[in-house]
Amino acid sequence: MTQTRSSRRVPRGEKRRDEIAAVAERVFLERGYSETTMQHIADYAGASKETLYRHFGCKGTLFSEVMRRRSSEVMSGEEDGALCGSPPEVLFSLALNLLHLLTRADSLRLYRVVVAETPREPELGRIFYGQGPGRILTRLTDYLDETGKKGELNVPNPSLAARLFIGSVTTFHQIQGLAMQATFPDAELQIHAREAVALFLARYGA
């Protein structure tokens, strides 16, 4: 009857490390870097501070590792297959996926933390950009380039066109999510996506 804690087998080694990292990710995303204490993470994970420090050395390292990994998975799941299909279909589906992705609460939280902590941790910003916006930009640029060469679109400057499209899709919902904690009904996202595609095709359609 010495079962003080919640009768749970506590794993060792890498498994424990991963559990703690997962908890730390959640807490950092919810409260930001400086509002998160190591004790808080330890409590949530049912761990002791000593274990945190044995695995990660210090708070900054834990934060970096965890946010870095998360930044590398911004797009996980969504939008992984290569862009293919007719331009209207591809663009609409990309637009809708983007809107869904970046109005999700945890995406906004990640963006918030990255923006806030990049001055203290410049590499974090670069990783996030490369894995998130940068990757999408590259893929869309490639798609526009190829499609242009096939004559299905008329896009003199694919990279510029891609930036304009992605911007037109995402900006306002993101700003409103960040600054006003706004949420959006799916119908509105669909209308927005549809019109963004129409705008794009009005100039770059073949």
Partner DNA sequence: CGATAACCGAACTCGTGGGTACAGTTAATA
Partner DNA sequence: TATTAACTGTACCCACGAGTTCGGTTATCG
Q: Is 165 left (phi over 0), alpha (psi -120 to 50) or beta?
A: alpha
**Which entry of DNA, its own copies, none binds 90, CB below 5 to 8 A by partner kind?**
none
Question: How far apart (Å, rounded) are the C-alpha atoms in residues 58 and 55?
Answer: 9
Spell out, one character per residue from 151 to 180, where the chain touches its own copies: x when CB under 8 A holds, - when not: ------x--xx-xxxxxxxxxx--xx-xxx
Burial class (CB in 10 A: 0-12, 13-18, 19+), 3: exposed
- Binding footprint of DNA on the chain (CB under 7 A): 2-5, 9-13, 15-17, 36-39, 42, 45-51, 53-55, 58-60
Report the residue number, 4 or 181, with the smaller CB distance to DNA.
4
Q: How far is the CB of 158 from its own copies (least distance, A)?
A: 12
**Which entry of its own copies, DNA, none binds 178, CB below 5 to 8 A by partner kind?**
its own copies
Report the residue number, 84 or 182, with the smaller CB distance to its own copies.
182
